[in-house]
Structures are given as C-alpha cells and as structure tokens.
Structure 1
Amino acid sequence: MNASHTHITHTLLLLLLSILIGISVSIIDTIFGKILLLISDFRVEHFIYLIPFLAFVGAIFTYIYQRYGSSATKGMTLVFETTDKKTNETSIPLRMIPFSIVGTWLTHLFGGSAGREGVAVQLGATISNHLGNIFHLDNDRKTFIVIGIAAGFAGLFETPIAATFFATEVLIVGKLYYKAIPFALVAAFSASTMSSYLGLEKFSFVLQDQVPFSLMLIVKLIAIGILFGLVGAVFAKLLQLSKTFFAKHFPNPIIRIIIGGICISIASILLYSGRYSGLGTNLINDSFLGHTIYDYDWIIKIGLTVITIGVGFLGGEVTPLFAIGASFGVVLSSIFQLPFTFVAALGYASVFGSATRTFLAPSFIGTEVFGFSYLPYFLLVCTVAYLVNQKYTIYSAQKYHAS
C-alpha cells in the first residue's frame, strides 16, 4: 500500500512539474520567437547594411561564448550527454539559455542561414533538468530531459504531438522512451497552449488537395520518400563534413567563424541578396502559395545552412530542413504529376525526419501543420525516408538502439 501511494504521489508530482515546465518554457519560447521574427523582418529590410558584419559579430560572440560559456558551448551534445550521467550535480548550466538565445538572434540579424529549434530544445532541457535537481528526482533525469525537449519544441512550433514523439525518439534512434510519454504530452500541450495564448505565430497550411489512394500513387509516394530520405541524409552528412573540415583547417573557433562568416556574406549577397538567409520561411511560404521556387533553391539552402552551423554560428537546423523539403517537394511535384502543395507538405515533414532519424515526429508534425486527414500519406513517406537514411544525423551525440 505504501509503495502504491508513493508511486501515485511521484506520478502526480511529475505531472505538476510537467505543466510548470511547459508553461515556463513556452513563455521564454514566445519572447524568443517574437523577437526573432522582428529581427528577421529588420534584416530583410536592411540586408545589405547588416550582412557585411556577420563575420565580425560572430567573432565577438564566439570569443565571449568560449570565455564564459563553460560546458554550455557543447550545445545539443550536452543535452544528449546529460541523459546518460549518473551524477547528482546539475549537468546543464543555466547560462546555456541566454547564450543560445542571444547567439541565435545575432546569427539571424546579420544574415546567417540557420533555424531556431536549438534554442527551444536547449532551454527546455535546461529548465527541466534544473527542476528535477531541485526536487532531487535524480532517477528521473532522462524523463526530465524528454519533458524539457517536448516543451521547448511544442512551445516554439505549437505542434504538441509531434514535439512529444520528437523528444522520445531523438535521444536513441530506434527506441521510444515510453515512460516519459505521458509527462511529455502534458508538458507539450501546456507549452503549445500557452504559446498560442501569448500570440506566438504558428505556421499552418490546410491542404485542399484530393489525392485518392491507388497503386500508382503508392508507388509514387515510395519513390518520393526515397528521394526525401536521401536529401535528409545528404544534409546530415554535409553538416558532419562541414564541421570536420572547418575544425581541421581552422582549429581556432574565432578564426573559423570569421572565415565562414565572410564566405556566407559574399554568397548571400551574390545569391539573390539574402534569399537564403535566416530561417527559410520565405521559401516555405513561396512553396505553398505558388510563388517562384527555383529548381536549385533547396540545394543552395543546404549549402549555406551547413556552412553557417558548421563554422559555429548558433541556431538550429529544423526550420531550414522544412524549407529544403518544401522547396524540393515543389520541384518533384511536376516530375511526379502531383499537386505541388501536397508534395511540398510531404517534403516539409519527411526531410526533417530523415535528417533527425525520426519518423513518428515528422509524421505528426505533417498532420498538425497540414491536416490530420493526410496522416496515412505522411506515415508512408516519412517511414520510407526514415528507412533510407540509416546512418547520418544532424545530432552527433545521438545514440542508436542495439537491436
């Protein structure tokens, strides 16, 4: 009886803390996200005056980050490592939150090509980890990391189901952490609801395409899934090569980011004056609104993003992956003679899934953004994309389940 009461009390505590984590993380997510959108708009309007300073600002921030960031400089790698540590001491320093936020703002303000989920996931994991330590719930360290990742992702993208599965899938490829799912769901829905209430902008597009299942459609979707899976794998591999190349030839992180920043600035000016800077939401919007998408948009976005992240600028990869998948989907739609918004939506989800080695998360992010009636299509394409890429991931510390 005592054991039963202890279990119930423990479960209730975790549920309450999950709600608290979801709300607190979403508030920071909203502040970060709203300012990032303002920064992005400002960059678009004053691009030519800001882009020349990318290398200089990157060098200044890198110097400060290296000097005062401590273990926070490991970023997502530290989040992954924390789940395996048995020590009772706090593993993720609170300074990770302001550094990741400011670093990402600067990357976007001065024209780097990067995402934003890095901040959300890291701040969620940090806050959750610290709450677990405060309540001395050391045996639930991994659970708290999952809760924090789910809250951070859901608070930023307002896709709570996808956020829950992303958090439970991403730590170990091929293995779901079932114990944490109920608490991650609570945190994710709390975060998503609060972000929506606070007015954080969410991207959504309701598909209107009528695409009845047939044998020919299934064959086309499998082929499309293979291509999206390969693009995700290429992105992850190039990111890995970029990091290795720049670290080898420019071991000093300040020199590295100066060289990379200069290259990005020149390329960004020459390539349509900032079309590929920032999150890539312009490419996403163009993909679904029928505006101009060049056949090579997705290729250039891959190149500039892997250089931006590879040389050390902060941000993330997820939103650029959405942009890459959507714009590549538009290209494939004419080849496979399918509605462009339909294939763009499939690319939006499945390229992200391939590059992160997840398949439930992208399937549900597709449905939460584009409509639940399309779940069978997303499941099929995302599963194929997941199976195609069995080796490469954007997260170097991600582990694999030994089957």
Structure 2
Amino acid sequence: MRLYYRDTAIWIALAVIIGLIVGVLDAVFGRVLLIITSFRTAHFFYLIPFLTIGGLITVFLYQRYGKVAGRGMGLIFNIGHHTDDVIPKRLIPLAMVATWLTHLFGGSAGREGVAIQIGATVANRIGDIAKVKNRHIMIMLGMAAGFSGLFQTPFAATLFAVEVLVAGVIYYSAILPTLVASVVAAQTSRFLGLSRISFSIVNLPKIDPLTIIKLLILGVIFGIVGFGFSWLLVKTKIKLATLLPNPYTRIIVGSIILSILFMTLGQGRYSGLGTNLILDVFQGGHIFAWDFILKLVLTILTLSLGFQGGEVTPLFAIGATLGMVLGALFGLPLTFVAALGYAAVFSSATNTFFAPILIGCELFGFSLLPYLFITISVSYAFNFNHSIYSAQSILKAKKTDH
C-alpha cells in the first residue's frame, strides 16, 4: 500500500511538470494559429493560390527532416502500445510549422493532432529522463495535457487519453495523474491567453418516449457520418498514394484542385478549422444544408494529400452543422441538436465514448448529460470499430484496469 501511494505521488509530480510544459507549448501553438487564421480570413484571395507552395514546403520538411517523426499520430500510438521507444524532439517544431502553413494558405484541417503529438513528445522525453518503464501511462499524460491545453476541457481530455489507445479498454489506474496533467495544462494555457469556445444550451426538450426515439435516430445518423469520415479518410489516403505515389506530385496536383474548390465553394468558408461554422451555428449565423458535407469532403482531401493538422475541430464543425439541419427536420431546438452532433460525430470518428460525453458537458453545460448519453451510446455503436486513428487497437466489450 505504501508503495502504491509513493508511485501515485511520483506520477502526479511528473503530471504537473508535463502539464506546465505542454500548456506553454499549446498556448504558443494555439495563439499563433489564431493570428494566422485571422490573417488568412482577411487576405484569403491573396493566399489561397499559394496553397501548393505551402504543401511543397510541408512535404520537403517531412521528407528532409521528418524521418520517423513523419509517422505522426501513428508513432504516438505505437509508443503507447510499446512497439516503439523514441519520439524525436524535432516532431514538435515540424508539426507546428506544417500546421501553421496548412492554415495560412487555406487548407481544411484541425489542430488537435499537433497538440497531442506535442504532449506525447514532451511526456515521452520526461519519461526517458525519469527512466519510467510504464511508457503507455506517460503517453496518456502527454496526450491528455496536449488535448486539454488546446481545448481547455480537462475532464474530457482525461477520459480521451485513457480510452483512446485501445478502444474498449479504460486505463483506470492512469486517471488521477492524467487528470492532474490535464488541469495543469488547461490552466497554464489559459493563463497565457488561450481561451475556449463554449455555449450554454438552455432550451432542452422534455425527456419522453418520443424524444428518446428521436435521440436514438439522431445517434444512428451521427454515428454513420463519423464512421463515414474515418473510413473515407483512410481509403482516400491509400487511393491518392496509389494514384500519385510521388508526394511532391501528389501535393502539387491536389493543392491546385483544392485551391479552386476553396475559392469557388464558399470563398474560404470551408478553409481552416471550421470554427467559423461552429460560431455561425451557436451565434445565429446562416447555415446551409450542405455545409457538413463540403467540410467533410474538403477536410479529407486536405489531410489525404499530406497537409498537417488534425481532424477533431473539423469533426466538431461537421457534427454541429449537421445537427442544425437535423434539428429542423426532427422538430427539436436547433442548437440543442447541434451540440449533440458536435460531440456524437466526434465519438463515432474517434471510437471513444466517455470523452465525447464530457466534451459536450464541459462546452454546453452538464444539463445536457442525459441527452448526450443516449445519443452517443448509439453513435458509438454505429462506427463499426473504425477510427481516424488507424493505429488505435480494438478490444470491444472488455474494459479492464491496466
């Protein structure tokens, strides 16, 4: 028992260190990204023609300097599964710069992939210094800190980290230190000026049999859309790599097509993170019925060509805009269904259950909990064990302590 408390104290101490470092890095990465996004929005037509240049620089950097770091999230998962040992420190500047380039020139991508890679790299390095053998726990601390520092949702980040490595398995023993790393990272990045988007959903329908039936159907739709995103992302990457095996040729041809699409489809409406769409949903802006489809397709193309970033924020935008459309069809409050979609599509695409529920609660209010639980229970079941994280291990119907 004494040994258990000693080990727990050590994990917590390491979690504090990781949270502080990752919180600072997330704040730098996130604030620069916000500046870049504002600049791109103001000068979109001057920057979008140079998307090819940004892509070529990205490919060059990863071809010239990336090496094993070019495996990105796959490498992070392999470290967590103990099939790799080293995450090069150069992964951090490479991922940050490449993502900034993607967003500067108008690519449709997220940011969480970079934040998680930053956190995992820092945590793994500290694990080397401290000679920690349980490297999967260190990776969880880093992933949680990276996610929380960027999105400022420490509870969701904690559950995300302990359930995402192996779908169907919860690493209960890692929850406390992971929560500490998440809280410290979130508070650090917030102190350094990084804020989060949150909205209060107060117009909630009564929970009755008809509402429950509607939530179950919504869960099916959100689940299939999340599955579709993850499945198409994997297939498109493989198909493009087969058709255009040279990464430079692939990025040139694809970027020219993307530039034309971004200019003609909404004039930059579908570029970047998708936070513009999220704000339109929850602040009374105009949403088109096809917004979620175009954001989905353009994000998949952007990432499949080799641009860097992430998938989560675009998934939030896809889920929210789809929810807005479905809310009108189902006769439910629009922003209520949008909040459900925000979390449920993320759940399906990442093959996680508890983290999306907490994301919904932290961003939209804990009064949404029963509705989220019902909807996400279905969306999680309808992802058919697919995930945007191709290196995620699958172990269904079994949750054990490790």
Give the TM-score range, shorter chain.
Answer: over 0.9
Instruction: Tell me how far 1:7 sits from its aligned partner.
Output: 3.5
Q: By how many angstroms is 1:6 displaced?
A: 3.9
1:48-197 matches, within 5 Å, as 48-85=45-82, 90-138=85-133, 140-197=134-191
Q: 2:23 aligns with which of 16, 22, 26?
A: 26
Distance 1:6 1:336 in 2: 55
Picking from 202, 205, 209, the partner of 2:196 is: 202
TM-superposed CA distance for 1:5, in Å, is 4.2
Partner of 1:321: 315
Report deviation, 1:59.
0.9
* Counterpart contact for 2:66–2:94, Cα < 8 Å: yes
* SS in structure 2 at match of 1:69: helix
For the pair 1:217 / 2:211, whether they are aligned, the reply is: yes
Which of 338, 341, 349 is the equivalent residue of 1:344? 338
Alignment of 1:268 onto 2:268: no
Q: Percent identity?
A: 50
User: CA deviation digits over 1:34-70, x for unaligned, max 9?
Assistant: 1101100100110001001111221122112111112
CA distance in 2, matches of 1:178, 1:392: 23
Among 28, 41, 46, the residue aligned to 1:44:
41
Return the match for 1:283 from 277, 282, 285. 277
Tell me if structure 1 keeps the 8 A contact 2:58–2:307.
Answer: no
Q: Which amino acid aligns with 2:24?
A: I
Equivalent position amino acid for 1:367 in 2:
C
Output the CA distance in 1 between the equivalents of 2:229 and 2:387.
9
Counterpart Cα distance in 1 of 2:110 and 2:70: 17
Q: Which amino acid aligns with 1:43?
A: R
In structure 2, stretches of 5+ residues that fail to align are none
Q: Contact 2:216–2:375 at 8 Å: present in 1 too?
A: yes
Quote the offset at 1:10 in angstroms: 2.4
* SS at structure 1 position matched to 2:126: helix
Question: How far apart in 1 are the matches of 2:252 and 2:381?
Answer: 38
Indicate conservation of the 8 Å contact 1:156/1:195, yes or no: yes
Q: CA deviation at 1:198?
A: 1.7
Match of 2:306 in 1: 312
Contact 2:273 2:313 survives alignment (8 Å): yes
How far the C-alpha of 1:393 sits from its partner, in A, is 1.1
Measured after TM superposition, the shift of residue 104 of structure 1 is: 0.4
Q: Aligned to 2:237, which of 229, 238, 243? A: 243
Moved >4 Å (runs of 4+): none
Aligned residues: 397
The one-letter amino acid of 1:104's match is T
Separation in 1 of the partners of 2:23 and 2:257? 35
Compute the displacement of 1:86 (Å).
6.3
Contact 2:81-2:165 within 8 A present in 1 as well:
no
Task: Answer yes or no: is 1:384 the counterpart of 2:378.
Answer: yes
1:59–1:255 CA contact under 8 A, matched in 2: no
Provide the rounded CA distance (Å) in 2 between the counterparts of 1:210 and 1:160.
25
Q: Deviations over 1:284-307 (max 9, x none)?
A: 011111211000000000010000
Amino acid at match of 1:82: I
Report the more deviating stretch, 363-372 or 392-401.
392-401
**Is 1:252 aligned to residue 249 of structure 2?**
no
Using the size of structure 1 for normalisation, the TM-score is 0.97
Query: Is the aligned partner of 1:356 residue 2:353?
Result: no
Aligned alpha-carbon RMSD (Å)? 1.1
How far, CA to CA, are the matches of 2:380 and 2:4 in structure 1? 37
